[in-house]
Amino acid sequence: MNKPYQKSTVLKVHHPPLSPEQKLAKKREKNRRRRQLKIARRKEEGRLRQQTTVIKKTKYLERRAKREAKELLVNDKKPAQHVALPMSKTTGSYITTTKRYVFNK
Protein backbone atom coordinates (compact mmCIF):
# COMPACT_ATOMS: atom_id res chain seq x y z
CA MET A 1 0.00 0.00 0.00
CA ASN A 2 0.99 3.65 0.28
CA LYS A 3 4.15 4.33 2.26
CA PRO A 4 3.82 7.20 4.70
CA TYR A 5 6.45 9.62 3.47
CA GLN A 6 8.44 11.66 5.94
CA LYS A 7 7.27 15.25 5.95
CA SER A 8 9.86 17.82 4.98
CA THR A 9 11.05 19.96 7.87
CA VAL A 10 12.04 22.87 5.62
CA LEU A 11 9.53 25.70 5.88
CA LYS A 12 8.49 27.18 2.59
CA VAL A 13 8.36 30.95 2.26
CA HIS A 14 5.12 32.06 0.69
CA HIS A 15 5.53 35.12 -1.48
CA PRO A 16 2.51 37.22 -2.38
CA PRO A 17 1.29 36.36 -5.90
CA LEU A 18 2.72 38.48 -8.72
CA SER A 19 0.58 40.65 -10.94
CA PRO A 20 0.42 39.66 -14.63
CA GLU A 21 2.77 42.52 -15.55
CA GLN A 22 5.29 41.45 -12.90
CA LYS A 23 5.03 37.84 -14.10
CA LEU A 24 5.81 38.92 -17.66
CA ALA A 25 8.69 41.11 -16.52
CA LYS A 26 10.15 38.25 -14.47
CA LYS A 27 9.85 35.86 -17.42
CA ARG A 28 11.43 38.40 -19.77
CA GLU A 29 14.32 38.98 -17.38
CA LYS A 30 14.86 35.24 -16.95
CA ASN A 31 14.91 34.69 -20.71
CA ARG A 32 17.27 37.62 -21.22
CA ARG A 33 19.66 36.21 -18.64
CA ARG A 34 19.52 32.78 -20.30
CA ARG A 35 20.27 34.34 -23.69
CA GLN A 36 23.21 36.30 -22.28
CA LEU A 37 24.63 33.16 -20.66
CA LYS A 38 24.28 31.26 -23.92
CA ILE A 39 26.11 34.00 -25.83
CA ALA A 40 28.84 34.20 -23.18
CA ARG A 41 29.33 30.43 -23.31
CA ARG A 42 29.61 30.53 -27.11
CA LYS A 43 32.09 33.39 -26.89
CA GLU A 44 34.44 31.52 -24.58
CA GLU A 45 34.17 28.42 -26.76
CA GLY A 46 35.14 30.67 -29.65
CA ARG A 47 32.20 29.84 -31.84
CA LEU A 48 30.07 32.93 -31.80
CA ARG A 49 27.57 32.71 -34.61
CA GLN A 50 26.77 35.83 -36.58
CA GLN A 51 23.70 36.66 -38.59
CA THR A 52 22.65 33.10 -39.33
CA THR A 53 19.06 34.26 -39.76
CA VAL A 54 20.02 36.75 -42.46
CA ILE A 55 21.94 34.09 -44.39
CA LYS A 56 19.06 31.63 -44.05
CA LYS A 57 16.58 34.25 -45.21
CA THR A 58 18.58 35.18 -48.32
CA LYS A 59 19.08 31.51 -49.22
CA TYR A 60 15.35 30.94 -48.84
CA LEU A 61 14.55 33.94 -51.02
CA GLU A 62 17.02 32.79 -53.68
CA ARG A 63 15.47 29.33 -53.76
CA ARG A 64 11.99 30.81 -53.96
CA ALA A 65 12.95 33.09 -56.85
CA LYS A 66 14.52 30.17 -58.72
CA ARG A 67 11.44 28.01 -58.16
CA GLU A 68 9.06 30.74 -59.33
CA ALA A 69 11.16 31.37 -62.44
CA LYS A 70 11.09 27.66 -63.26
CA GLU A 71 7.31 27.55 -62.81
CA LEU A 72 6.88 30.51 -65.13
CA LEU A 73 8.96 28.73 -67.76
CA VAL A 74 6.86 25.59 -67.43
CA ASN A 75 3.66 27.61 -67.67
CA ASP A 76 4.91 29.45 -70.75
CA LYS A 77 5.45 26.18 -72.59
CA LYS A 78 1.97 24.77 -72.15
CA PRO A 79 -1.28 26.64 -72.73
CA ALA A 80 -2.71 27.39 -69.33
CA GLN A 81 -6.36 26.79 -70.26
CA HIS A 82 -5.78 23.04 -70.38
CA VAL A 83 -4.34 22.80 -66.88
CA ALA A 84 -6.74 20.83 -64.72
CA LEU A 85 -7.68 22.74 -61.61
CA PRO A 86 -7.35 20.90 -58.32
CA MET A 87 -10.77 20.37 -56.80
CA SER A 88 -11.32 21.09 -53.13
CA LYS A 89 -12.43 17.95 -51.31
CA THR A 90 -14.47 19.78 -48.69
CA THR A 91 -16.29 22.51 -50.61
CA GLY A 92 -16.50 20.82 -54.00
CA SER A 93 -15.25 23.97 -55.70
CA TYR A 94 -12.08 24.61 -57.65
CA ILE A 95 -9.01 25.86 -55.86
CA THR A 96 -7.70 28.86 -57.77
CA THR A 97 -5.30 30.22 -55.18
CA THR A 98 -2.41 27.90 -56.04
CA LYS A 99 0.45 29.81 -57.62
CA ARG A 100 1.34 26.90 -59.87
CA TYR A 101 -1.22 27.73 -62.52
CA VAL A 102 -1.07 30.88 -64.60
CA PHE A 103 -4.19 31.49 -66.62
CA ASN A 104 -4.34 33.21 -69.95
CA LYS A 105 -6.98 35.89 -69.72
Residue 8 has pLDDT above 60, yes or no: yes
Instruction: Give tens-digit pLDDT for 24-69.
Output: 999 999 999 999 998 888 888 777 666 556 667 777 888 888 887 7
List CB contacts of 88: < 8 A, sequence separation 6 or more: 94, 95
Instruction: Give tens-digit pLDDT for 66-102.
Output: 887 777 766 665 544 544 555 555 555 555 554 444 4
26 CB-contact burial (10 Å; exposed 0-12 / middle 13-18 / buried 19+): exposed
pTM check: above 0.75: no
Q: How far apart are CA 41 and CA 46, in angstroms?
A: 9
Q: What is the pLDDT of residue 104?
A: 47
Domain residue ranges of the chain, discontinuous segments joined by +: 18-48, 51-79
